[in-house]
Structure 1
């Protein structure tokens, strides 16, 4: 299961542009970046792609990964199972990439460049931290349910929100230096959806691209920065849903880059080598989608039944609502008019306020119900999409590959799904290697991978998921076996 050698670590870097060639569509370059490592008889390739996913959705099909691996094995001598391909998961309005054959050609070109430029290196790993730029988008509600912050549906009412989910602020930093001390490559791992994009809406590599560019600009000397997406399935940028001004992911990327460089400066590289371990498992496909849809239909009907008549429309609601917020005690007129009415033993304004408050409450209740109805409609459509995916497969399970790479005292463990934060934290907690980092969105794409305990609460990531809850334990058990196996190898 494990290949282990002890000799001089060699590394090579390469990159090629893979972004769309449509005129005016591209804001900044999208790359396939490659780090090739060789230690004795062991050769591995780490490929970081500015793409939504490695197959499954959007620009790359499920054939892309096996075709790339087959060619790299045949022409570069890299065993297919020793190739880790990670998607940054940046997504803006597409198409984002060139035609798939062109992307494959460009990615292979970068791999060949890296393979042909191997140079002796020293290596070190460490961790930084950055928690100012992200939050867990799946809110925990007072009723025990979950509500995910997305642009396709409104946020929940403030008084419904109980708490936030966890984030993992750790930045895994891998430092590769030439023997003369010049930096060759900086590989950094962090968990967050790249969603904000750029103000003009064009295709962008998002914060991972801006972070890589910033690191390369600061360190110079031909260094290549590479971002590996972590367990960011439920993590998004802090200002993702900001409506007060143009949103840009560049400040997010710059902030992440500076925190990465702070950690990089503390790392003392030295001699080491590499190990590889992998396993193939089968994750069960969920069978409960019809039941979940039936539950949503029932909730939908209850919300429809809750809708009540109201005399107000949007045009009359807005000024009445604003007045009630500006002066809750005297919304209909200046204070002196209320005082004068009181002197005259009249109550016209007071009665008007009472009626308006009742109508405002009814209107707001209807709006909240309609917001929930819109969200339910979106969830039902999503469930049916995944029901179709599972039915089309003709199987009750899906094959998944989990790859572990150990470089010195640090390990990368892959996951082919959009793993949620708690999955990544669980892997780190149970790993015998203190420096363990998850490369989710890697070597395939199986949509979201949520903890089993999250399924009853709902939320977008559980809805946008064709895996059964049992997938989690299968993944965690397999990842631990791989990491234990790697930990028993002597990398000193």
Structure 2
């Protein structure tokens, strides 16, 4: 660069020199100011113990039984994200299904204590079948109407979110997916033997849930499965793992001792993924979370084959959790982390009609009830259980308002459905979502029974029986369209950030 001749210096007015220097200072100050005002992405996580007292009823089977032992503690596993403008929380609870009223009470407490709006709180159950009940005939948010455990659960969920909020720190976030097809099988089957298809309503279905394993009478599965494990990982700016939330469309695994309380494979996953990420014995503690995807018609039994061997108690659920954690860890090695992504959430209530018993059903179960009253000492039959359920439905409202929710994390969309949802519904949402990546958390923000598609309703089977499924047969279609519309709105909002 050539120097300016000294003889030229007098030709540059002092005002011009001052103006140039002022512009330089303003540009530098603007750059510094932009750095200072750039939003910071933060994350925090915590667990909250929700283990019930012994004696509470475990409701995973046909007949409730009292809890006599705690095999492993139950938790509400909480993740809070903050993009500098929007905060949201995701909580997974070790429970078979939690009523909306209990979740709403928890949200009420969280919003009052933290300011995070209820629309930005996604609370869900894992669907472990070895936890005690949080259900009950609730109609208001008056705490006096709740059972002791329901009040305790709502408080502990609130406490967990508040503790996760207190752990917020600058963080990076990434998400990924990987398939694990070896543990997901559709449990609804077409069979060639009509004796396997009788239902408690006095009729014959077209498909059977959980048919005999390895039977020559099996024809084909009645629906698809979703083998994909989706996950979200957050870590500190230095690379310390903070939390990992995974999603797998597999029902509980089971294999517990009678009377044991356990978080099932969801709890084991939380431990195993922390071990694989080298996140044990750190402070703050790492939080592993596994949510239940759309698995209302899926379990891990390969019905084509005889059981290869007899598993010890808790062995199979550990095997499944280890396999899922290993696959997540494998994909995690290739993960791209982002220093900042926009967050967004939307919530709506959708009104659905409830299914009502036909006069023929009422007459059928009236006869069942009359005959069972004369022999009350024996174990109740399937017909007697459904007679009781039909009696309750006759007293229930003809409409129900159910909560739907979507969350946007950058290019990732998460939908929340308060039902045990069939795999094909989750696959449709993934296929039609405007987000690059999508997964669904079921039994979220409430618990309203099974959600078969209209096509599956026509096939019958346990998941479609009135008393197992409560809402109109077209409900899944209305829910999918509502969620997709919310996704589109959410993506537009994210695009404006």
Structure 2 residue 456 is matched with structure 1 residue 387? no
> Which residue, 34, 42, 45 being the options, matches 1:10?
42
Residue in 2 aligned with 1:237?
A: 300
Question: Any stretches of 5+ residues in structure 1 without a counterpart?
Answer: 1-5, 56-61, 301-376
Distance 2:297 2:150 in 1: 28
Tell me whether 240-249 or 250-259 shows the greater mean CA deviation: 240-249
Q: Among residues 148, 152, 157, which one is paired with 1:102 in the alignment?
A: 152
Deviations 1:220-265 (A, max 9, x none): 1432111111111111123799583435311111111111111222
Pick aligned residue for 1:19 from 37, 51, 72: 51
1:392 CA displacement: 2.5
User: Which residue of the partner structure matches residue 489 of structure 1?
Assistant: 493
Aligned-residue offset at 1:66: 1.6
The residue number in structure 2 matching 1:259 is: 327
1:333-348, aligned counterparts within 5 Å? none
Residue aligned with 2:231, SS: strand
Q: Note if contact 1:147-1:156 (Cα within 8 Å) is conserved in structure 2.
A: no
What's the offset of the Cα at 1:33? 0.9
The alpha-carbon deviation at position 434 of structure 1 amounts to 2.8
Judge conservation of contact 1:285–1:397 (CA < 8 Å) in 2. yes
Quick one: distance in 1 between partners of 2:167 and 2:323?
31
Q: Which of 431, 436, 445 pairs up with 2:433?
A: 431
Q: Considering only aligned residues, what root-mean-square deviation do their CA atoms show, in Å?
A: 2.9
Measured at CA, do residues 173 and 265 of structure 1 come closer, stay the same or move farther in structure 2, by a change above 3 Å? same
1:286–1:467: 8 Å Cα contact kept in structure 2?
Answer: yes
1:223 and 2:318 correspond: no
Alignment partner of 1:426: what SS? helix
Secondary structure of the corresponding residue to residue 207 of structure 1? helix
Counterpart in 2 of 1:275?
344
What's the offset of the Cα at 1:84? 0.5
Quick check: 1:160 aligned with 2:217? Answer: yes
Pick one of 246, 249, 267 that aligns with 2:312.
246
Pairing partner for 1:87 from 108, 125, 130: 125
Contact between 1:92 and 1:197, CA under 8 Å: does it hold in 2? no
- Where in structure 2 are the equivalents of 1:286-325 lying within 5 Å? 286-287=355-356, 289-290=358-359
- Secondary structure at 1:16's aligned position in 2? strand
- Deviations 1:323-366, CA, capped at 9 Å, x for gaps: xxxxxxxxxxxxxxxxxxxxxxxxxxxxxxxxxxxxxxxxxxxx
Supply the distance in 2 between the matched residues of 1:291 and 1:155 (Cα, whole angstroms): 30
Q: Residue by residue, what CA displacement relative to the aligned partner does 1:354-379 show, whole Å, maximum 9, x if unpaired?
A: xxxxxxxxxxxxxxxxxxxxxxx62x
Instruction: Measure the CA separation in 1 of the matches of 2:98 and 2:269.
Output: 21
Give CA-to-partner distance per residue, 1:382-437, whole Å, 9 cap, x none.
544443343232x2221011100000110110001111111111111111113110
SS of corresponding position for 1:158:
coil
Shift of residue 89, structure 1, vs aligned partner: 0.4
- What is the alpha-carbon distance in structure 1 between the residues aligned to residue 449 and residue 112 of structure 2? 30
Q: Which of 249, 256, 271 is the aligned partner of 1:191? A: 249
Alpha-carbon distance in structure 1 between the residues aligned to 2:255 and 2:477: 34
Matched residue, 2:165:
115
- 1:71 is the counterpart of 2:74: no
Distance 1:135 1:469 in 2: 24
Contact 2:134 2:150 in 1 (8 A): no
Change (3 A) 1:170 1:476: same
Change (3 A) 1:179 1:455: same
Displacement after TM superposition at 1:467 (Å): 1.2
C-alpha distance 293-437 of structure 1, shift in aligned 2 (>3 A) = farther
Distance 2:117 2:134 in 1: 29
Q: Does structure 2 conserve the Cα–Cα contact (< 8 Å) formed by 1:233 and 1:448? A: yes
Count of residues paired in the alignment: 399
Cα distance in structure 1, aligned partners of 2:40 and 2:86: 11
- The reply on whether 1:132 has 2:182 as its aligned counterpart is yes
* Aligned equivalents of 2:297, 2:385: Cα separation in 1: 17
In structure 2, what is the Cα distance between the partners aligned to 1:93 and 1:45? 23
Q: Distance in 1 between matches of 2:43 and 2:391?
A: 44
TM-score norm. by structure 2 comes to 0.74
- So what's the TM-score if we normalise by structure 1? 0.75
